[in-house]
Amino acid sequence: MVRTKSYSAFAAIPLAATMLAGLPSPSVAASEAAPATTQAPPAIRVITAERKELVEILSVNGTIVARDEAAAGTDLNGMIVTALNADIGDVVRKGDVLATLDRSMLDTQLAQMRATRAQGEASVAQMEAQIADAKVGVKQADEAFARAEALKKKAVATQAELDNADNAAASARAKLDSAVKAMAATQAQLAVTDAQIKGIEVQIDKTEVRAPADGLVLARAATMGGVVSPTSGPLFRLAIDGEFELEASIAETALPRLAVGMKSEVSLPGIDHRIAGTIRRIAPEVDMKSRLGLIRIALPKDAPARAGSFARGEIELVRREGLSVPVSAVLYHGETPLLQVVHDGRVATTPVKLGARAAGSVEIVSGVKEGEEVVARAGTFVADGDLVTPVRADTTGAIAK
């Protein structure tokens, strides 16, 4: 125990001597030798809110269809196609004969009906003669009755003679009435025959399948020697005036932003340039299963479009100048959009109102002023109130888009 105490006392001598000499202790000297370090705020890339032209585009996909279609066919049954005058891809005019059907049977029926009408006309002539003869008989009978009545008054003729004259006059009038009714029946039969002739002529006219409108032949179902039937569908399908459109399906949420007349650019397969178009029609009904609505984008007449082909359209929803920032700068708290604005090196989270979106940028309607700096990729590294070191595009060598 004595040795231990003497060792401790001995060990304390140098330290005490050092303190008496006014020199710092080794631990104090080491702490004073290390320089004091302060951690710098993290470097965060910022972007300036600036005004520029915003063009918001809605991309759609769909199929090229005829603006309006027309069908050319016939309701005749059992007729044979004897001639074809149009093929797929032909441009036809209204009234052009596209196909001809065999009309020989109808021609025979027409000849029979015309012969029946000739017989009716002869019967009418005969009835007219009978009516004329009956009128003469009525006149003679009336005159005989008048004479008998005069003689009866003079007591020259008997009552029997007067009755006979009266009966003869009644018989003559009955014959005239019969002849008139027979004439009416014959004329009615003539009218029926005329109607039948008209019906056959209409059927004969239908043996020439004509184009119902100017247009482009899209499909042909008729074949030479084929037998047509009303249930077999149209023989030809036409695109009226050769006009085509892009029919596209649009989500129901985007439909309210569309309007008839909006401009669009359509890309067609195999065409290296876009075709200008406009929205012509917006369907008033949305499919209950797919929740999609149809729109039609009209194309120019000279557009190299083909029915049934795939096409892509870009509709210009908005074109205006506005204050904008990159979409990556926006973060959300629930449904509220926010921007992390940097003021004097400190982050301030600010609610904003958004507008149009275009090419990776979004319009800021309110909440941020032009020239203010915001965190380029919001919410990734910093939070509201953090101190940061702003890094701008001009200092990093980045090229602003």
Distances (CA, A) of 90 to 207, 214, 220, 221: 21, 11, 11, 14
> Looking at residue 389, what DSSP letter applies?
E
CATH of 59-64+243-319, one of 2.40.30.170, 1.10.3720.10, 3.40.50.20, 2.60.40.10: 2.40.30.170
Q: Where are the domains of the chain?
A: 45-54+321-396, 59-64+243-319, 71-102+208-238, 105-193
Query: Look-up: residue for tokens 């104090």?
Result: 28
CA–CA distance, 341 with 350 (Å, rounded to integer) = 7
Q: How confident is the model at residue 19 (pLDDT cuts 50, 70, 90)?
A: very low
CA–CA distance, 94 with 254 (Å, rounded to integer) = 40
Q: What is the pLDDT of residue 274?
A: 92
Give me 33's structure tokens.
């030798």
Q: How many helices (H) and strands (E) does the chain have?
A: 5, 21
CA–CA distance, 23 with 18 (Å, rounded to integer) = 6
DSSP string, 55-69: EEEEEEEEEEEESSE
Q: What is the model's pTM?
A: 0.62
CA–CA distance, 186 with 180 (Å, rounded to integer) = 10
Least confident of 82-86, 252-256, 378-382: 378-382
Q: What is the pLDDT of residues 279-332, one digit of tens each?
A: 999 999 999 999 999 999 999 988 888 899 999 999 988 888 889 899 888 988
Q: What is the pLDDT of residue 35?
A: 54
Q: What is the CATH number of domain 45-54+321-396?
A: 2.40.420.20
Tell me the mean pLDDT in the region 149-178: 82
Decide whether 59-64+243-319 matches 71-102+208-238 in CATH topology. no
Query: Helix %, strand %, coil % for the chain, to 5?
Result: 35, 35, 30
Identity at 151, one-letter amino acid code: L
> Looking at residue 235, what DSSP letter applies?
S
Q: How confident is the model at residue 23 (pLDDT cuts 50, 70, 90)?
A: very low
> Looking at residue 6, what DSSP letter applies?
H
Q: How confident is the model at residue 143 (pLDDT cuts 50, 70, 90)?
A: confident
Q: What is the pLDDT of residues 166-194, one digit of tens each?
A: 888 888 888 888 888 888 888 889 999 99
CA–CA distance, 104 with 128 (Å, rounded to integer) = 36
Tell me the mean pLDDT in the region 213-228: 93
Tell me the mean pLDDT in the region 67-92: 92
Task: Extract long-range pairs of 161-170: CB within 8 Å, 24+ residues apart.
Answer: 165/141, 168/141, 168/144, 169/138, 169/141, 169/142, 169/144, 169/145, 170/141
User: What does the chain come to in residues?
Assistant: 401
Is residue 15 a contact partner of residue 25, using CB atoms and an 8 Å limit? yes
| CATH class in words for 71-102+208-238 | mainly beta
**Which has more confidence, 209 or 317?**
209
Mean model confidence pLDDT for the chain? 84
Q: Which residues contact 376 (CB under 8 A, 6 or more apart)?
A: 44, 45, 46, 47, 326, 328, 329
Least confident of 106-110, 155-159, 316-320, 373-377: 155-159
What share of the chain in percent tops pLDDT 90? Answer: 39
Tell me the mean pLDDT in the region 27-51: 68
**Which has more confidence, 277 or 391?**
277
Tell me the mean pLDDT in the region 256-262: 91
Is residue 33 a contact partner of residue 378, using CB atoms and an 8 Å limit? no
Least confident of 2-6, 229-233, 272-276, 382-386: 2-6
CA–CA distance, 315 with 327 (Å, rounded to integer) = 20
Tell me the mean pLDDT in the region 123-131: 86
For 3, list phi and psi in degrees, rounded to 5. -65, -40
Least confident of 85-89, 163-167, 264-268: 163-167
Is residue 77 a contact partner of residue 351, using CB atoms and an 8 Å limit? no
Q: What is the pLDDT of residue 207?
A: 92
CA–CA distance, 188 with 330 (Å, rounded to integer) = 88
Tell me the mean pLDDT in the region 224-246: 91
Q: What is the pLDDT of residues 342-356, one digit of tens each?
A: 988 888 888 999 988
